[in-house]
Structure 1
């Protein structure tokens, strides 16, 4: 069970627990830092891996996110978004900042933000299928990859994903629909089964 400083449970659906968690992070309490690693780090790393597509850079970005959350936890406003949603938004913006710097250095264009965005080898070939899905996902526009990461692999609601991505719910639904269509085309009708295999393999890694 994820705990707040002092040993109390941290319930992401309880506003008062969110507020206590934010205060504990702002104070730099060690238990709150451990709570962040258990409660928020998997989401942050998932976002960073999906957007940056580089493990070392994703880990660096996750560290940046932790520092930003720690320094700015006192700025979180409970009435505007859940704490975890706020953290996810920081993660997304941190990754986009890194992508912008990367593309400025290489001369590539940065896509518009508002529009479009290992398991064991003996599990019935799940890893081979997972590699196919990862390859297909890598070919999608960033916003479609991110929407699929948040809603399918991390099981956030469309509302939560919209808040993190700072777009409308309708835009998230459009990104998901386009992303799924593109995956089905790329995977020749095997998308649903292969994506399920990838999700299962990621669950084994957690």
Structure 2
């Protein structure tokens, strides 16, 4: 019997997150995540800790992560949270007394993300994503899957896909990393670097479909 996922149509919750099981998903990874979250809440309750905390500390840390080049989606993927929740957290006004409390497990998940290594020099600000999009599409046509590129860029595969397909702007630091990665990989055969032939074929076919659709 196939797994059934029931959740609001516009929800950004993904498989492997506790909230996915709360919406009725029966996938094992979602149920395990929900079980871990419940166990953590029970432990906090036994220790006399409130289930909800002020959001400012987690919001400040999420802001620092973003300053280091992580997108809201990157933070969400690393913390196992929905990107909507992370974006809401990033909008939390620092001195606000009216900001709603968040779950302690949410705060702990964000605060537990280490700062990514600072690259020197760090390129500040945003830039047009046209060149980065073209370079990522070029690598896709060469058979490099988004997951493989994401590992080398220290971002999520979803971020790679967004930059390649639709995101209008991106951090200059990421744009420079994409340029360097393209220069390094474009002449190499993905099969020689641990990429399965079936994944290479799928990536090339998807790239061809995107090119034909443009």
TM-score after normalising by structure 2: 0.28
Q: Which has the larger radius of gyration?
A: 2
* Structure whose residues are more often helix by fraction: 1
